[in-house]
Every structure is written in C-alpha cells, then in structure tokens.
Structure 1
Amino acid sequence: MTDPYAPQPVRSLPDRQVALIDLLDRLLSGGAVLTGDVVLSIADIDLVRISLRALIVSIGPKARSPWETDDD
C-alpha cells in the first residue's frame, strides 16, 4: 500500500483542464506560506504595523498535532 501523503512527481498539464480542487490539493500537499504587512498611518505617520505570516498545509491521520505533548 502506498502512502497517499507522500510527495508526488510534478507533471505539466498542457492540454488538460484541471479542476480547482485538484490544484488546491496539489498546493496543500506541499504546503504554502502566506505573508503580508498591514500599516495604519495618518498624515504619512505610521501608527501601527502588523506583519502576518501563515503556513497552510494538509495533514493526515499519521501526522502529529503541533499541540500534542509527550505527556498525552
């Protein structure tokens, strides 16, 4: 039995239509990092700066939760 969460080789899809769910599945199997900055300012004076970073990745039943402790 093969591992469904193992990385798959990347193949180009020149003449094939691909569903959005397939693209999302491929993206999440490898993971994605989203970053952004929000700056609130008045009269060209920066008042608040927020840096946002998020890691989006799919998990499987064999993956440990990041909130699990060894005591559980």
Structure 2
Amino acid sequence: MKELTPEDTSLLELVDRLLNKGVVLAGEATISVAGVDLIYLGLNVVLAAVQTLEKAEEQRAS
C-alpha cells in the first residue's frame, strides 16, 4: 500500500482508507448534578465497509 503524504491526500482518499481498514470509535460521558452522577453513557461505534467486515469475519472463523 502506498504511503500518502499530506500534499497528495484528499478527504475522499482518507474516507476510502478508513472504510477499507475499519475504525472503532469509543467514547463515554457522565451527566451529573451537584456532584451526583445521574447518567453514564458509553459508546462504541464500528465504521467499516461491508466487505471489510465480511473479510474479517471469514478470517476469524478459519
């Protein structure tokens, strides 16, 4: 795979690479009032092309 430099990288190429490789985004937030935690939110998001996920599943199964 060719290394991309900032000069020849477009947004489209970046999105294409992210979808081909797959990305996991993780985050969390706590909502509190007067120092009392009321709500905790945990979030994990997988962003990948369907073909990438299928290929990963095939490799995992074998």
Give the RMSD, CA atoms, in angstroms.
1.7
Q: 1:54 to 1:12 in 2, by over 3 A?
A: same
Divergent runs of 4+, >3 A: none
| Partner SS, residue 40 of structure 2 | strand
Q: Which has the higher contact order (CA 8 A, sep 6+)?
A: 2
Greater C-alpha radius of gyration: 1
Identity of aligned residues (%): 31
1:9-37 CA distance string (max 9 Å, x none): 2x323374211011110011000001110
Q: What is the aligned residue count?
A: 52
- Structure 2: stretches of 5+ with no match in the other structure: 55-62
Where do 5+ consecutive residues of structure 1 fail to align? 1-8, 64-72
Alignment correspondent of 2:10: 19
Give the structure-2-normalised TM-score. 0.70
